[in-house]
Structure 1
Amino acid sequence: MEAFTCTHFSLAGRPAVVAALVEGLKIEVATKTKLNALLKWEDVLGANMARSGGLVSSISERMPLVVHTFEKARNGKRRSGTVILEVSKGVDQQDIDHWINIIAYFADPTRPAAAAVPSSIDDILQNTPNKRKFLVLINPISGKGKGEKLFEKIEHLFAQANIEVTKVLTERAGHATELGKAFDHSVYDVLVVVGGDGIAYEVVQGLMDRPDWADAIQTPLALLPSGGGNGLAKSLTEIAGEAYGFEGSTYLLLKGRANPLDLATFRSKTKTTYGFLSLSWAFCADADAESEKFRFAGSLRFTLSAVAKILSGQTWPGSFSYLDASETDKVPQYWDDDAKANAASPTLTLLPPSAEDATPVTWKTIEGDFSLFWAMNVAWAASDMCPTPGADPNDGYFYALVVPGKISKSEYMGMLLSVENGSHVQRPCVQIIKTRAFQVQAPSTDLMMADGERFEGGFCQVEVHRGLGRIMSISKA
């Protein structure tokens, strides 16, 4: 169904008919059909009147209408582009402004998918999307220190998508937490993190350490990966069917919607933190922590550290207690209960009353030596590690990858080599346990890692809160 049609444009010097359809912007050139195109709205950022980046205000200058796109190339990666439509002489400026608004309306990712097609330009003008405001936190030393330069390369896309950007560079460890705690969430539509999972974890701690945490934590987050570990960004691009990388995550940010994201309470006997990614112990935690010495290798640092740990032949004594998941469980979204917004912190309904209390008798326990423990909220822990295939960032569960007992070095190596594609789950020594709440207890000197950050004390209780946060993402059709 056509919403609007215009014959006031030409493409490559040839008269063109431009039509706004439900599925995209259709361009037809009768004298050269090779130029015909259908620009899907999912690939269109917006439009303006410009030449060489300069906006114009007078139609007498005959500046073209430039349609900005972010299409998927043959290699699967997104790349920006433009379609330049020359304007016919004598066309009123208001008519061209109307087409800029028409394109903005249909390209708006926040427009309800089931919205009726406007019947008039007045309908468009009354529902033209407002300029969105994004706060962008950039960790300049994350990964190989390329975050700031990577963002500069794609920053122009935000203006094309009608987004105003405020940039802040983090200056020290913990700065992102301070910013998350202090920023005015009523001003910004999205909080963007340029870096790895570590800086995103810092931001979450700041959002949760506020009197108005219940409002602040619902500020949509977005991740642009430039760190050594980018598990959440990788998981989201996989779900969306996009190529992993800075461009793919930028696309999710520009054209995605704010969707629910599970967050978890990590509770020890002395502190409480909050996370979106994982809790690891034993082999995984030690390898993760010791990977810092291989930071120069980027994401390969985890592989190098893992090989070194395998050669040690170590096992870790402890226990894993958990609430077993039932296939009939219906996990409610956290905010379905309005009363929870008035609590001082996320309401815990599954864990014992305190960290000192015993776990419920209905929970199951695995006790003894462990070779590996890795509980994940999403499928990917890094761009090249898929510990828990099928894990969903909004189903209310963590997925624990457990290897009890001692396994051989060759079995370890086999798992390491197969974790990239998730086939390690087929090995007899591997268990995947789905749970909404669990406890890990180990010697107090043992290290645990919450979202890749140190969690000392050898003890942690975890409860998953379905949809407590929000993340910019796209679900695969």
Structure 2
Amino acid sequence: MYELLQAPCTREDAAPLKDTSYSVPAMDDLWQITGGLCGVVEAGGTIGPSVHTKLVPRGLVVGAELEGDGATTPSQSLNERQPRRWCCCAGRESARNLRVGSELLRFEDLLGAVLDTAARLVRLVHCPVSSGARVRRDIVLHVGGDEKVLAAVNEWTSRLNEKCKVKGQRNYHALINPASGSGQAASRWQQARELFDSLTHLNITESFTTRAGEAGEIASQLDPRQCDGIIVVSGDGMVHEVFNGLASRSDRSEALRIAVGHIPAGSGNALAKSILHSSGEAFGVLDAAFLIAKGHQQDLDLMTVSQPSQPDRTSFLGLSAGVIADVDLGSEWLRFLGGFRFTLYAGVCIVYPRPLLAELHYWPSHAGQPPMPPPSIDSELPTGPWASISGPFTVFWSSNMEWTSYNTQLAPGQSMEDGVCSIVLLRNAGRVALTRFLLALESDGGHLDVEGTEKLECRAFRLRPLSTDARGYFSLDGEEVPLQPIQFWPAGQGRVIGSSSPDGPIDSVMAV
């Protein structure tokens, strides 16, 4: 519990409010359950006057006055009354202005209520949207009464938690890479951890990685019966490791039911951005942690990646080549700059572009699923409606998701779970066209309007470099792989933590 929950409380005004203008059901309002002994803990640990805390259809109304059935909106009650200082704790003591009247805390913004019976405190874990992003706005209440009253308060908190669509205990394993991005993973994890620690329904195990490949090794050893999800606190490279660790197991199908959540702490953060965008959330650490705490899940398409003399790998994101891969991998030595490294190195690649001379064969999305199992990379492609085009490819960029980084919406409208892979191409482009393409990448799909840009939709593809001494990179999910023939084929689906759907499934090992 936070420091404020442990602090002694003194009561300024223990007298219940005298209000006979309306009646409430016995189990809807803490004010009635406690006989009026329900006050907000203020900054400094003192307890303010008694307040109503009533469950209504759209959320929870907290305030000294309720109007009608209590379902007032903030615009009706908060913007027209005099301020009073109430406490709002977000891991450290702070305060905010609430108004005399009532405030509606929407269920979709609440992560539930936590009752500390010894201290007689109820924490309402509240993360509303302010200026477009999630912020912590917890409210702590002190409740009076005997043991029977506390039992009724506990039942009230259970009802609230059900309405917040946060169901069941969950065991998560967090993998933190302190060296990722610009080295801010530890501080970003601390911000997320403060939220998780305020919730009793989450059990978190931490592992700080010290070398490449360690995250995949840990994922390959987790017991699906004891782990509900993996939280990656790093960039897309560690997400790639985790999915490959799960997919490499003998119980692959069961292991891939372990959902993966992403706290953005790398340079690109494509998975975190795609999850947040599809859920209607802003891109940020607290926003990602909020979705993970809610716990709803969605499916994510995976692809089997084959190359000569290489073990098969699993891709969750896609492949880039030509200038895009040069920008991605050629800028590794600038990792300390975070995402700005891509912008800086793009200037170098515009002046000295290295197109990829290659041949692309792809199975169009409208043709349905390609035959299974996938062919060997050394064999001929199976008979089917294949289409073929050749480079040079100044830009080659495939993606299973709408976003390929936090600021690049490569394939607007792309679903994470429809089995379709988008490929964006720019063939034999000059410096002017390349510059326009790169500048338009951060303009909500504007790059697709640049002359010469092509967008294909497929379900499988094979890309074969035509030169044995080709220079450049293949970037697979942000990780370098050999510049040699490469094949992408459907590999089923994994799971990710984060969805806007309140009816989305929440699988918990605690329920087994």
TM-score (norm 2): 0.78
1:314 aligns with 2:337: no
Q: For structure 2, which runs of at least 5 residues remain unmatched after alignment?
A: 1-23, 41-47, 68-76, 78-99, 503-512
Q: Kindly provide the CA deviation profile for residues 64-99 of structure 1, in whole angstroms up to 9, marking residues without a partner as x.
A: 3221111111x2121112223332445622122222
Q: Describe the SS at the equivalent of 1:413.
A: helix
Aligned ranges 1:103-114 → 2 under 5 Å: 103-110=160-167
Q: Describe the SS at the equivalent of 2:254.
A: helix
Deviates more, 1:283-292 or 1:100-109: 100-109
Give the length in aligned residue pairs.
Answer: 428
Q: Kindly provide the CA deviation profile for residues 290-319 of structure 1, in whole angstroms up to 9, marking residues without a partner as x.
A: 010221211111222222111114322111
Q: Kindly provide the CA deviation profile for residues 212-245 of structure 1, in whole angstroms up to 9, marking residues without a partner as x.
A: 1111111011000101121111111111221112
Q: Describe the SS at the equivalent of 1:383.
A: coil
> Which residue in the other structure is 1:192 paired with?
231
Question: Structure 1 counterpart of 2:156, which letter?
Answer: W
Q: Kindly provide the CA deviation profile for residues 85-121 of structure 1, in whole angstroms up to 9, marking residues without a partner as x.
A: 33244562212222222222222334xxxxxxxxxxx
> Which residue in the other structure is 1:441 paired with?
464
Q: Is the 8 A contact 1:42 1:107 kept in 2?
A: yes
Q: For structure 1, which runs of at least 5 residues remain unmatched after alignment?
A: 50-54, 111-128, 332-347
Q: Kindly provide the CA deviation profile for residues 125-145 of structure 1, in whole angstroms up to 9, marking residues without a partner as x.
A: xxxx3x211110101110111
> Which residue in the other structure is 2:378 paired with?
356
Pick from 280, 291, 296: which aligns with 2:336?
Answer: 296
> Which residue in the other structure is 1:143 paired with?
181
The CA RMSD over aligned residues, in Å, is 2.4
> Which residue in the other structure is 2:324 paired with?
284
Q: Is the 8 A contact 2:27 2:156 kept in 1?
A: no
Q: Kindly provide the CA deviation profile for residues 24-83 of structure 1, in whole angstroms up to 9, marking residues without a partner as x.
A: 22335338964312221221122234xxxxx442xxx6x33221111111x212111222
User: Structure 1's 2 and 167: CA in aligned 2 closer, same or farther, altered over 3 A?
Assistant: farther
> Which residue in the other structure is 1:400 paired with?
423
> Which residue in the other structure is 1:97 paired with?
154
1:262 aligns with 2:301: yes
CA distance, structure 1, for counterparts of residue 501 and residue 425 of structure 2: 29
Q: CA deviation at 1:14?
A: 4.2
Q: Is the 8 A contact 2:295 2:498 kept in 1?
A: yes
1:133 aligns with 2:171: yes
Larger Rg: 2
1:36 aligns with 2:102: yes
> Which residue in the other structure is 1:324 paired with?
364
Aligned ranges 1:132-281 → 2 under 5 Å: 132-161=170-199, 162-271=201-310, 272-281=312-321
Question: Structure 1 counterpart of 2:461, which letter?
Answer: F
CA distance, structure 1, for counterparts of residue 154 and residue 325 of structure 2: 56
1:471 aligns with 2:501: no
Question: Structure 2 counterpart of 1:450, which letter?
Answer: L
Q: CA deviation at 1:440?
A: 0.5
CA distance, structure 2, for counterparts of residue 263 and residue 31 of structure 1: 51
Q: CA deviation at 1:170?
A: 0.5
Pick from 368, 375, 382: which aligns with 2:398?
Answer: 375
Q: Is the 8 A contact 1:133 1:164 kept in 2?
A: yes
Q: Is the 8 A contact 2:322 2:395 kept in 1?
A: yes
CA distance, structure 1, for counterparts of residue 345 and residue 483 of structure 2: 22
TM-score (norm 1): 0.84
Q: CA deviation at 1:364?
A: 0.5
CA distance, structure 2, for counterparts of residue 434 and residue 382 of structure 1: 19
Q: Is the 8 A contact 2:64 2:101 kept in 1?
A: yes
> Which residue in the other structure is 1:64 paired with?
121
Q: Is the 8 A contact 2:436 2:450 kept in 1?
A: no
CA distance, structure 2, for counterparts of residue 454 and residue 314 of structure 1: 16
